Chain A
Amino acid sequence: MKNSDPNADRDPLSRTLRDWRVTTPLPAGFREQVWSRIARTQQPARPSISTLITHWIGTVLPRPALAASYVAIVLVVGVTAGWAQGRRENARMKDELGQRYIQVLDPYQAPRQ
């Protein structure tokens, strides 16, 4: 394409830009990387976690086998947590009673009225 502006040949910046040649080679795989980035930006947005959960509750959970498994698992989790917590609390309360026995008998620890 011929330059239509006759003054452009006299402008040093335009002359320099026209004569400028890039000689540095592009890094390996540059073209593929650019295309893959473009492809990534064009992918549909991932569904959010709340959408996934709602979908799971609405369509997957009502399946009989899955519903039974879910109830069994949460029941086992609840019972196990109750058992562990109960045992710990029981031990703590008994330890406290033992400590109280010593406190009652030890004048240096006995509660003063």
Chain B
Amino acid sequence: MKRGVLILTFGLLASLIGYCCVYRANTSSARSLQRSDKPELAWLKEEFNLNDAEFKRVAELHAAYLPQCRAMCLQIDAQNTELQKLLANATNTTLEIEAALAEAGRLRSECQTMMLRHFFQVSQTMPPQQGRRYLSWVNEKAFQPNYGMPKE
């Protein structure tokens, strides 16, 4: 009986160790990306097979884009606050509300144009095939009609 229990335990232990080793080996690339300084850029480099020179250029474009993005965030937040204030006590659409909504739409359009410009610039620093794949991917993630809506 004792020998049987030992064999049973040894088998289960071996199975557990095998599971952990293979699991860790399979997730090592994603974990190393997460540990990096800028995980999303490290991911981009790996996903689109960028060499060091291409990655350097992409990182520069990324760094240059972020301040524009932050400025846009501030504008959007201010516009949203303004719109919420107008809507708080409104019982009907007013000219002010219409103007605020139009401004919100203009901001969204401006924001999307800015993003698209950045995506084109990034795609142009990549090898052509990877550039096309990148554009197709960002299009799916940021410009689909159901963009921003929760998935079913």
> Which residues does A use to contact B, with CB under 8 Å?
54, 56-62, 67, 70-71, 74-75, 77-79, 81-83, 85-87, 89-90, 93-94, 97-102, 104-110, 112
Contact = CB atoms under 8 A, between A and B. Distances in A.
Q: What are the nearest 5 A-B pairs in CB distance?
A: A86-B26, A78-B15, A82-B22, A93-B30, A82-B19
Contacts of B27: 86, 89-90, 93
Dominant SS at the A interface?
Answer: helix
Given A61-B8, A94-B33, A71 B14 contact: yes
Given A82-B18, A97-B39, A70 B31 contact: no
Contact of B40 (A62, A79, A83, A101): A101
A105 B21 CA distance: 36
Interface residues of B, number: 53
30 contacts: A57-B1, A57-B5, A62-B4, A70-B7, A71-B7, A74-B15, A78-B14, A78-B19, A79-B15, A81-B19, A82-B19, A82-B21, A82-B22, A82-B23, A83-B26, A85-B26, A86-B24, A86-B25, A89-B27, A90-B27, A93-B34, A97-B34, A97-B43, A98-B43, A102-B141, A102-B142, A105-B115, A107-B72, A107-B111, A109-B148
